[in-house]
Amino acid sequence: MTAEPLTPAAAPEPVEDAERFRLLSSQLEMYARDLRKTLDAERERARELAHANAQLADAARLRHDFLRFVAHEMRTPLSAFAALELVDLSDPDEAETLLGFARDGYLRLREFIDRVVAYFQWLSRPPGDVEPGETDIEMLLRYLAQCDLRLQPPRGRVALVMETQHAPLVAGEMGPLSDALRILLDNAVKFSKRAPNVTIVLADDGDRVAIEIRDEGVGFPPERAASLGASFVASSPRPAQSGTGLSLALARSIIEAHRGTVTLSSPGPGLGCTARVTLPWAPPAA
């Protein structure tokens, strides 16, 4: 009996190979797409976690700075009340003098509490969470400068320089913006070495207005620029000068709530300071 020759198996049809390859490619693409989604979700979670950790660190720093700041600020007014036990109140002159000290301490404490409350109210607002409105920034700055007697001749001098062709209208509430700019203007006057000489410049900055308040005062080391205006950082460059930093922090929080920015700069001690504020222009009328 003779063996029949083996017949080789039929080769797979090219169409079947192509279909198998297509299915495999489709599955790989699906796996890659799912992997990309998982990776993107993990990256987003990592960003959220980093943001939350940064917020926690900021909150811890803010709480520490706030408690230290409150303890320091309340010491002076409370010492006036404590001195009541040491004075002979039967002496009209001594009683009147001490009453004046106590009154000043009370007013200082009330102003401090009001500013702390205002600061935290503005700090809690997200950018843009303000009442709609428009403010004529040129008129506002002229008014603030005229109201400060320290800037009127012969005591001092203030110049307003317009370097913009825009109508000077910015988006925001006049009241809060007035408070913030008054703080910055007061700072320029307070830290002037002699008669205050202040220049205010309004200029274009893209879709914003830039307001620069330049003084010729005591200035500060350039490396301090980043910390000035932060929450509860002393604003005075010299220990002998007053300046808690709360006012600057309040001004910054108001400006930032109006989608603006505040920066402070100085070439160095004795060379003056520039406070630069940017605010969005008011949208054009329809």
Label each residue of 155-210 as H, E or C. Answer: CCEEEEEEECCCCCEEECCHHHHHHHHHHHHHHHHHCCCCCCEEEEEEEEECCEEE
* pLDDT reported for residue 54: 76
* pLDDT reported for residue 273: 92
pTM as predicted? 0.65
pLDDT 10s digits, 14-52:
657 777 878 888 888 888 888 889 988 899 888 888 877
How many Cβ atoms sit within 10 Å of the Cβ of residue 42?
10
Query: Distance between alpha carbon 194 and the CA centroid of its chain, in Å?
Result: 29
Q: Which residues of the chain have pLDDT under 50?
A: 237-243
- Same fold? 49-123, 134-280: no
* pLDDT reported for residue 2: 57
Classify 49-123 by CATH class.
Answer: mainly alpha
> How far, in Å, CA of 201 to CA of 281, rounded?
16
Amino acid at 81: F
Domain ranges of the chain: 49-123, 134-280
Whole-number mean pLDDT of the chain? 79
Write out the E strands in the chain. 134-136, 157-163, 169-171, 197-205, 208-214, 261-265, 274-280
Q: Residue 280 — φ and ψ, nearest 5°?
A: -70, 140
Classify 134-280 by CATH class.
Answer: alpha beta
* pLDDT reported for residue 193: 73
> How far, in Å, CA of 28 to CA of 73, rounded?
66
Using DSSP, state whether 225 is helix, strand or coil. Answer: coil
* pLDDT reported for residue 70: 67
Tokens of 222: 């350039």
